[in-house]
């Protein structure tokens, strides 16, 4: 296991309960992990996902705290960043996520097939889809609200053809491209992590329909498919003869999911959702319906998103109790209680699987609620140090780029200055 000078230098950093002078150490993971220059390299960018875990943070944790063939778990897997970075560095990973989309992201993000494939055959598959005469109508009562009749008719035929394909690399590539254009050619705003109509998108679609939109749609289908094909080929060239495992479980509640394996794991690397972040399933709704999920299935996982659940217990820590004293709105206190109950339950379920001496690397933000900054990393520290974990260090990584949408009644209209990487060690 390789220890970097950065971690060694600050290992003496200590945390004192209630002491505000126990401040995080400022770093820039984009600078530290110089081998990764682009957060969207290889297959990281094939599927859109809100608030993606940047690979530099994941790679830092892998380099610091693991060796080849170690096992990593991510209890909030999202778009599978941890899985891809683990595989690229010859580690194994277990990914858990509530969103069914993970099931469709991972076969193409980490493609391990051995069959020969080509752009010529990819083009033939796309052409077959374009000839499809039957229609696939998603089991979503409101689906036509998001499309013009002409666009919906074309997409429904293409998706019918896609669903008839065997589950191979051609299907996964075209599927990713269809997911992308099904959002782009909808009335749903495709630039934000939320499902809604915007003035911009209504104008965009109205103007598009005055052009040869069908040709544009077909061009986008081919262009994106070829682009994703190249990404997968590049990934394969880099990982030739790699044989590590990346297991993924989609549509599961990571707070209660029980792994069949009794093997002790080496490291947790994860990035929980922010407090009041409730866009993940909603962002993916159109994608999920086109992929074949029913309204009932999507509603079931939507109800399990943290902001929509009631707290089953009240988490008590010094910092969290002090925050509660400052909040007068009972609704906000319920949101606070729900977030820390279910987020900690998910973390704890995975951290219990770590071996003694195993590390927990938790990447979080400090959002505001009712104007009060919630030091999430500090609350996690206070809770888990009472549960047999040793605090090691917390890093402050300034956010370089952010996407803020004031028209959405953003809970943090000025954004967050930093995100924090908390490192804990399991002592028992």
DSSP string of 86-110, one letter each residue: HHHTT-EEEEEES-THHHHHHHHHT
Evaluated on CA atoms 396, 338, 76, 171, the torsion sign reads: negative
Amino acid 192: pLDDT: 74
- Contact status, residue 259 vs residue 71, Cβ threshold 8 Å: no
Q: How far apart are CA 322 and CA 319, in angstroms?
A: 5
Q: How far apart are CA 251 and CA 100, in angstroms?
A: 5
Amino acid 206: pLDDT: 95
- Contact status, residue 81 vs residue 53, Cβ threshold 8 Å: yes
Token pair for residue 273? 């959702």
Query: What residue spans of 193-212 are helical by DSSP H?
Result: 199-208
Classify 162 as helix, strand or coil.
Answer: helix
Q: How far apart are CA 219 and CA 60, in angstroms?
A: 39
Q: Domains of the chain, with CATH numbers?
A: 5-100+246-272+309-426 (3.40.50.150), 119-238 (no CATH)
Q: How far apart are CA 55 and CA 61, in angstroms?
A: 10
C-alpha to C-alpha distances, 390 to 63, 425, 426, 428, nearest whole angstrom:
20, 5, 6, 10
Amino acid 50: pLDDT: 86
C-alpha to C-alpha distances, 371 to 75, 158, 225, 329, 406, nearest whole angstrom:
29, 48, 45, 12, 16
- Contact status, residue 327 vs residue 335, Cβ threshold 8 Å: no
Amino acid 17: pLDDT: 52
Query: What residue spans of 244-310 are helical by DSSP H?
Result: 280-290, 295-303
Amino acid 191: pLDDT: 74
Residues of the chain with pLDDT under 50: 1-3, 11-15, 21, 402-413
């Amino acid at each position: 296991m390789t220890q970097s000078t950065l971690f060694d230098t600050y290992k003496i950093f200590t945390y004192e309960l209630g002491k505000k002078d126990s401040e995080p150490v400022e770093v820039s993971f984009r600078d530290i992990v110089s081998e990764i220059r682009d957060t969207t390299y290889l297959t990281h960018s094939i599927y859109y996902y809100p608030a993606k875990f940047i690979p530099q943070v994941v790679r830092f944790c892998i380099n610091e705290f693991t060796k080849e063939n170690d096992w990593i778990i991510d209890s909030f897997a999202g778009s599978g960043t941890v899985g891809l970075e683990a595989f690229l560095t010859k580690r194994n990973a277990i990914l858990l996520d509530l969103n069914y989309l993970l099931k469709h992201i991972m076969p193409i993000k980490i493609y391990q097939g051995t069959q020969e494939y080509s752009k010529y055959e990819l083009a033939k598959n796309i052409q077959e889809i374009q000839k499809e005469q039957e229609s696939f109508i998603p089991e979503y009562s409101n689906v036509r609200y998001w499309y013009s009749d002409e666009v919906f008719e074309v997409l429904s035929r293409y998706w019918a053809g896609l669903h008839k394909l065997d589950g191979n690399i051609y299907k996964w590539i075209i599927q990713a491209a269809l997911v992308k254009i099904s959002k782009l050619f909808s009335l749903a705003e495709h630039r934000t992590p939320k499902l809604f109509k915007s003035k911009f998108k209504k104008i965009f679609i109205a103007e598009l329909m005055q052009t040869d939109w069908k040709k544009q749609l077909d061009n986008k289908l081919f262009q994106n498919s070829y682009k994703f094909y190249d990404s997968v080929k590049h990934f394969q060239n880099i990982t030739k003869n790699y044989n590590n495992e990346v297991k993924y479980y989609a549509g599961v509640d990571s707070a209660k999911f029980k792994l069949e394996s009794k093997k002790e794991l080496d490291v947790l690397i994860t990035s929980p959702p922010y407090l009041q972040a409730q866009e993940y399933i909603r962002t993916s709704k159109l994608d999920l319906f086109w992929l074949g999920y029913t309204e009932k299935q999507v509603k079931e996982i939507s109800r399990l998103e943290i902001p929509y659940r009631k707290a089953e217990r009240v988490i008590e820590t010094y910092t969290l109790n002090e925050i509660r004293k400052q909040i007068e709105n009972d609704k906000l206190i319920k949101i606070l209680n729900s977030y820390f109950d279910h987020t900690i339950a998910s973390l704890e379920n995975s951290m219990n699987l770590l071996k003694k001496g195993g590390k927990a690397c938790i990447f979080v933000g400090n959002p505001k609620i009712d104007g009060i900054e919630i030091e999430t990393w500090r609350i996690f520290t206070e809770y888990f140090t009472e549960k047999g974990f040793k605090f090691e260090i917390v890093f402050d990584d300034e956010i370089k780029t952010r996407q803020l949408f004031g028209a959405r009644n953003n809970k943090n209209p000025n954004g967050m200055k930093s995100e924090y990487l908390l490192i804990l060690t399991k002592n028992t």
